Structure 1
Amino acid sequence: MFNEQDQRLRDFLATGRRFAATSSVEETLQLILTSAVDTSPATDLAGVLLLEGRGKITSLATTDGVVNQLDQVQARHNEGPCVESIYDQELVVVDDFAEHLERWPRFARAALDHDVHSSLSFQLFSEGKRAGSLNLFSHRVRAFGEEDRVLGALFANQAGLALRGAQRVAQLDQAVASRGVIGTAKGILMERFGIGDDEAFQRLVRSSQDTNIKLVDVAQWLIDETTGRQTG
C-alpha cells in the first residue's frame, strides 16, 4: 500500500516517461507544469518564462490565463520573482506578496488582484547560460513547504533538460540548413569558374572575411544573386 508521498513520487516518474510521447518543447513544458500542479500540494498555477535574445522575456508555457497576465506584467516592467530568478537567484521564495509591494510594486499588486499570494521560482539553464525560470504560484499565503520546494526543483530540472534538448535540435537544424546553403553556393562557383570544391570554399571564406559577413550569409547572397539573374 503506497502512502501519499510515495504516490507523488510515482506520479513524478510517470511524468518523465510521458515525455517520449510529446512532439515539441512547448508540449513537454506544458506536461511538466500540469504535473507540477497535480503533484505539488501547494501549487495552484504554474508557468515558464524564457529569456531570449537582447533581454526579451516571453511566456513559453502556462497552466492558466492568470499566469499569462502576470507574465506580461513581469516582462513589461522587468520586475517580479520570476524575472529575479532568471537574472539573479537560483531560487526565489515568496511567502506573501503583500509583504513585497515596495520590492515589486506593479507585479505584487497584480498578483494580489488575481488572488495569488505566494510563489516559488526556479532558475533554468540552457547550455550553461540562464535560459528562464519555472514558476509555481499558490492562492494561499506561505503555501510552499520543504516538500514543495523539492518537487519544484525536480520539475525545474525536467524543464531545463527540455529546453537544452530543444536548443540542441535547433542548432542541429540550423547547421544542416547552413551546410546545404554553402554546398549550393560552392556548386555555383565551381560551375561558373571551372574550379574544384576546395577552391570554391576558399573563395567563399575570403569573401566572408573581406566583407565581415557570415559565411552562410555570403553563400545565400550568391544563391539569391544567381537565381535572380537566371529569372530576370
Structure 2
Amino acid sequence: MSEQPAKELSQRLFTALAGAARGLSTRSSGGAEQVLKLIVAGAVRTVPGAEHAGVLLLARDGTVTSHAPSSDLAERIDRLQARYGEGPCVTALWELHTILVDDLAVGAARWPAFAREALASGVASTLSFQLFTNDDTLGALNLYSGQRAGFNEHSQILGSLFASHAAQALGRAQEMEQLHQALLTRDVIGQAKGILMERFDLDATSAFAMLIRTSEDSDRKLVEVARWLVADGGPRS
C-alpha cells in the first residue's frame, strides 16, 4: 500500500475511533451492560476485519461470563471459551495482553477443545484485547473473523486504542452502578434505623448498634437485616 492511501486509511480509521469513543463517553451513564453493547457494536464498525465481537468478564470468584455479543455466533464463541476455560480471549484475560490468532487451526494445539468447535462454527481468526476495569473484574474485548489472517496491523493498532477507551467507559459505568448501590444501601439502613428508633424509643446510635448486633447474631449481612425490617415492618415492642 502506498504512503498516501495508507495515510488516508489511518485518518478514516482514527476518525471512526474518535466517534466511537465519544459515543461511549456520552452514553456511559446508561449502565455497564449498555456500555458493553456500545463497545462491541463500535468494534465491529471500527476495527478492520472484525465481523463479530463480544466481551468476556472474569469475576472475583473466577467465573467467566459472556456479555453483549454482537451476534449469535459471537455469543456461541464467547460461551465456548467460558465453558472450556480456554481460548485466546481467556488467555487475554489472564495474561494481561493482546492475543492475535491468524489461524485457529494452528491454535488447536494450544486450545484443542475450543478451537475445534470454533472452527466448526465458522471462526478462523481472532483478536482479543484485555480490558482493565476498576472493581477487580477483568474483561476482554474479543473480535472474530471468518477469514484466516482476518486482522491486519491497522486492526491491532485501532483495536488497542478502542479497547483503551472502552475500558475507561466501562470503568465509569461500573463506578456509577456501585455508587447507586451504595446510596440504596445507605437509604435502606437509614429506614431500618428509623423503624427501630420509633418502635423502641431509641436514638440513632442505639438503633444502629441494634442492627449490627442483629446482623451478627443472625449471621446475615447488615443490609439484609435492614431490608427485612423495611419490608416486614420489623419486630413489635
Give the structure-1-normalised TM-score.
0.87
Distance verdict in 2 for CA 1:187–1:24, change over 3 Å: closer
Question: In 1, distance between residues paired with 2:27 and 2:128?
Answer: 27
Correspondent of 1:14 among 19, 36, 47: 19
Partner of 1:177: 184
Give matches, 1:118-157, under 5 Å: 118-127=125-134, 129-157=136-164
Question: In 2, distance between residues paired with 1:37 and 1:191?
Answer: 57
Question: In 2, distance between residues paired with 1:56 and 1:196?
Answer: 43
Q: Secondary structure in 2 aligned to 1:30? A: helix
Q: How many residues align?
A: 230
Give matches, 1:78-227, under 5 Å: 78-127=85-134, 129-226=136-233
User: Which consecutive unaligned segments of at least 5 residues does structure 2 have?
Assistant: none
- Per-residue deviation, residues 108-134 of structure 1 (Å, max 9, x unmatched): 112222332211111112216342210
Question: In 2, distance between residues paired with 1:32 and 1:183?
Answer: 37
- Per-residue deviation, residues 59-83 of structure 1 (Å, max 9, x unmatched): 2112221111111211111111111
Q: Is the 8 A contact 2:128 2:141 kept in 1?
A: yes
For 2:18, give the aligned amino acid: L
Question: In 2, distance between residues paired with 1:16 and 1:132?
Answer: 18
Partner of 2:46: 39
Partner of 2:62: 55
Deviation at 1:220, TM superposition (A): 2.4
Distance verdict in 2 for CA 1:77–1:169, change over 3 Å: same
Deviation at 1:34, TM superposition (A): 2.6
For 1:106, give the aligned amino acid: A
Q: Secondary structure in 2 aligned to 1:54? A: coil
Distance verdict in 2 for CA 1:217–1:75, change over 3 Å: same
Give matches, 1:21-36, under 5 Å: 21=27, 23-36=30-43
Deviation at 1:224, TM superposition (A): 4.2
Give the structure-2-normalised TM-score.
0.85
- Per-residue deviation, residues 86-141 of structure 1 (Å, max 9, x unmatched): 12232222121111222211211122223322111111122163422101122222
Identity among equivalent positions (%) equals 42
Distance verdict in 2 for CA 1:214–1:186, change over 3 Å: same
For 1:13, give the aligned amino acid: A
Question: In 1, distance between residues paired with 2:229 and 2:20?
Answer: 48
Distance verdict in 2 for CA 1:39–1:221, change over 3 Å: closer
Partner of 1:5: 10
Question: In 1, distance between residues paired with 2:54 and 2:105?
Answer: 21
Q: Is the 8 A contact 1:37 1:45 kept in 2?
A: yes
User: Which consecutive unaligned segments of at least 5 residues does structure 1 have?
Assistant: none
Question: In 2, distance between residues paired with 1:128 and 1:203?
Answer: 31
Deviation at 1:53, TM superposition (A): 5.3
Q: Is the 8 A contact 1:84 1:92 kept in 2?
A: yes
Question: In 2, distance between residues paired with 1:152 and 1:193?
Answer: 60
